[in-house]
């Protein structure tokens, strides 16, 4: 039998103990990549194929035979075929009896079938031990070396011994197994690779909605209004000026929305007098999305910094400065130095720099590679204490930028205030409520509640041990 081979170099030097034989049904990309990885880790691999003589590009040292022959050579069989081709397994029922079948298949859509592929396989071969695994690993990651993002392997199955043997294989391959329990978890495991940024959808949609709203809001105030009343064409502002208003406004609001659910949760606990009651589903989901909201807010803050750095080289800015200089020279006038304005200007810039620095620090500590190196108290200090300090600095940065103009009626256009006024509503609300929550009289009660104290006795009983559902 002629076939093209790929050399499999062992990853380990010591092979005094020969490992077991693993059978792989299917010679596609994933099956070949998994077989190569197993050969490198010292396993003996035999492939099962419907057309053994047509199989090519198999790893050197691997054997390829028919399905029935391959199944007889190992008690662990990894199925790297699609669910639509499972029907042939019914012909191998006797051979597969008491063997471990590892299902690695995925579907094209979430919840495409009434039951998971692994449960369907268990119905086809009832006397085999079905284990779900490897469906979250790609052929590319097996070939190039598993990265941090693709190192985890979810494993589930009803037979603990069969599941443990699969877990041992996962460990040997240099991957990280995560036991998800019984085969009932297979549906969730199969849906996982099909989810596209599940925790990012709400933050993305919210940030997009804020950007669109404030962009058109600024267009009305700074483009349409001057054209209607002064016949000025200021459409060029939509390239730099308006985005440089939208980005910081969106960043500040998103940063405030990171800490708003924690404030709402504290209020709910104070109102209920207990921590042993679930938060509403919308609040639970909101709190789980806080990291994503913060990272998107940091992205908008970066854009604001970049757009601000290009201001001096803009044609419009250079034109205004030249005209101002020429007019002052012709009129033989000069603007006197205003110390108070200099203080405001420098304070505005300083607060922005410090706020952005802490913003970046928050983003860095949220990375798994960094957060895994600190304990919970350190992580909480950075994300909570320094997080609120970041919100204070960024809010003060915005307040000083507006200075007295926030209270001026002359800044209204069609009764629409500056976007920075709208941007301050949520941050200021969060900071005021947080200030009230840290007052000793309130903080003491909240701390007791979070330590398990309950104000109302009717919430202290449950069917189990006197506690309500958590």
Helix 243-272 vs helix 290-309: crossing angle, to nearest 10? 150
The pLDDT value given to residue 401: 82
pLDDT band at 103 (very low <50, low <70, confident <90, very high): very high
The sign one gets for the Cα dihedral 399, 409, 249, 265 is: positive
Choose the weakest-confidence range: 83-97, 106-120, 147-161: 147-161
Alpha carbons 260 and 244: distance in angstroms, whole number? 25
- Which pLDDT value is given to residue 198? 73
Higher-confidence position of 174 and 264: 264
pLDDT at 400: 87
- Answer whether residue 467 shows pLDDT above 50: no
| Minimum mean pLDDT range among 16-20, 207-211, 277-281, 320-324 | 16-20
Integer Cα distance of 297 and 249 in angstroms: 10
Local confidence band at 120 (pLDDT 50, 70, 90 cut-offs): very high
Q: If you average pLDDT over residues 17-28, what whole number do you get?
A: 82
For residues 181 and 179, what is the distance between their CA atoms, to the nearest angstrom? 6
Residue pLDDT, tens place only, 432-459:
999 999 999 888 988 888 888 888 755 4
The secondary structure of residue 156, as a DSSP letter, is E
Q: Is the pLDDT of residue 146 over 60?
A: no
From edge to edge, which strands make up the β-sheet containing 129-132? 63-65, 44-48, 21-25, 76-79, 100-103, 129-132, 152-157, 176-179
pLDDT band at 376 (very low <50, low <70, confident <90, very high): confident
Given a cut of 70, is residue 7 above it in pLDDT?
A: no
Predicted TM-score (pTM) of the model is 0.70
Indicate the pLDDT class of residue 18, thresholds 50, 70 and 90. Answer: low
Supply the pLDDT for residue 255: 94
Q: Is the pLDDT of residue 469 over 70?
A: no
E strands present in 97-151: 100-103, 129-132
Most confident residue range from 60-69, 99-108, 445-454? 99-108
Contacts of residue 273, Cβ cutoff 8 Å, sequence gap at least 6: 449, 454, 455, 456, 459
What mean pLDDT comes out for the span 250-274? 92
Contact by Cβ (8 Å): 18, 71: no
182-186, 203-207, 272-276: the lowest-pLDDT one: 272-276
d(CA 117, CA 107): 8
Share of the chain above pLDDT 90, in %: 34
Q: Is the pLDDT of residue 338 over 70?
A: yes
Class of residue 89 by CB neighbours under 10 A (exposed 0-12, middle 13-18, buried 19+) = buried
pLDDT of residue 2: 40
Q: Tell me the DSSP string of 309-357.
A: HTGGG-HHHHHHHHHHHHHHHHHT--PPP-HHHHHHHHHHHHHHHHHHH
Three-state SS at 256: helix
334 φ/ψ sector (left φ>0, alpha ψ -120 to 50, else beta): beta
State the pLDDT at residue 409: 67
Mean pLDDT across the chain:
84
Which residue did the predictor score with more confidence, 38 or 58?
38
State yes or no: pLDDT of 356 exceeds 90.
yes
pLDDT at 306 over 90: yes
Which residue(s) pair with 76 in the sheet?
100
Lowest pLDDT segment from 116-125, 285-294, 446-455: 446-455
What confidence score (pLDDT) does residue 51 get?
Answer: 82
Given this model, what pLDDT does residue 466 score?
43
195 pLDDT band (50/70/90 cuts)?
confident
Instruction: Tell me how many degrees the CA angle 457-459-463 measures, rounded to the nearest 5.
Output: 115
Q: Give tens-digit pLDDT for 235-261.
A: 888 888 899 999 999 999 999 999 999
- DSSP percent split of the chain into helix, strand, coil, nearest 5: 60, 10, 30
Q: What is the pLDDT of residue 335?
A: 77
């Amino acid at each position: 039998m002629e076939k093209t081979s790929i050399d499999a170099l062992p990853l380990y030097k010591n092979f005094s103990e020969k490992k077991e034989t693993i059978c792989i049904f299917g010679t596609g990309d994933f099956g070949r990549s998994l077989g190569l990885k197993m050969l490198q880790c010292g396993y003996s691999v035999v492939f099962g194929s419907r057309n053994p003589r047509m199989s090519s590009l198999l790893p050197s040292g691997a054997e390829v035979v028919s399905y029935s022959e391959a199944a007889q050579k190992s008690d662990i069989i990894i199925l790297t075929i699609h669910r639509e081709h499972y029907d042939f397994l019914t012909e191998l029922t006797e051979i597969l009896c008491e063997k471990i079948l590892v299902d690695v298949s995925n579907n094209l859509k979430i919840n495409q079938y009434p039951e998971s592929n692994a449960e369907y396989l268990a119905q086809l071969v009832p006397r085999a031990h079905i284990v779900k695994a490897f469906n979250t690993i790609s052929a590319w990651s097996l070939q190039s070396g598993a990265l941090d993002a693709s190192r985890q392997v979810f494993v589930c199955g009803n037979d603990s011994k069969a599941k443990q043997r699969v877990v041992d294989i996962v460990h040997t391959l240099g991957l990280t197994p995560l036991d998800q329990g019984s085969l009932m978890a297979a549906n969730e495991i199969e849906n996982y690779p099909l989810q596209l940024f599940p925790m990012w959808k709400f933050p993305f949609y919210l940030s997009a909605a804020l950007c669109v709203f404030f962009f058109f809001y600024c267009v009305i105030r700074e483009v349409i209004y001057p054209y209607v009343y002064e016949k000025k064409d200021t459409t060029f502002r939509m390239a730099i000026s308006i985005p440089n208003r939208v980005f910081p406004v969106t960043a500040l609001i998103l940063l405030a929305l990171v800490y708003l659910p924690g404030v709402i949760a504290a209020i709910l606990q104070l109102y209920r007098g207990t921590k042993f009651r679930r938060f509403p589903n919308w609040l639970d989901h909101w709190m789980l999305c806080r990291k994503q909201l913060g990272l998107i807010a940091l992205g908008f803050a970066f854009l604001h910094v970049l757009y601000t750095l290009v201001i001096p080289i803009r044609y419009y800015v250079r034109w205004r400065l030249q005209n101002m200089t020429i007019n002052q020279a012709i009129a033989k006038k000069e603007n006197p130095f205003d110390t108070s304005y200099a203080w405001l200007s420098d304070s505005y810039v300083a607060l922005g720099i410090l706020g952005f620095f802490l913003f970046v620090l928050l983003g860095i500590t949220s990375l798994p590679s960094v957060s895994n190196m600190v304990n919970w108290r350190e992580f909480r200090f950075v994300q909570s204490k320094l997080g609120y300090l970041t919100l204070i600095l960024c809010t003060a940065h915005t307040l000083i930028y507006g200075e007295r103009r926030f209270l001026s009626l002359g800044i209204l256009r069609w009764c629409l205030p500056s976007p920075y006024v709208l941007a301050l509503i949520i941050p200021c609300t969060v900071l005021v409520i947080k200030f009230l929550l840290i007052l000793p009289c309130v903080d003491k009660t909240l701390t007791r509640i979070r330590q398990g104290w309950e104000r109302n006795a009717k919430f202290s009983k449950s069917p189990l041990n006197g506690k309500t559902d958590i």
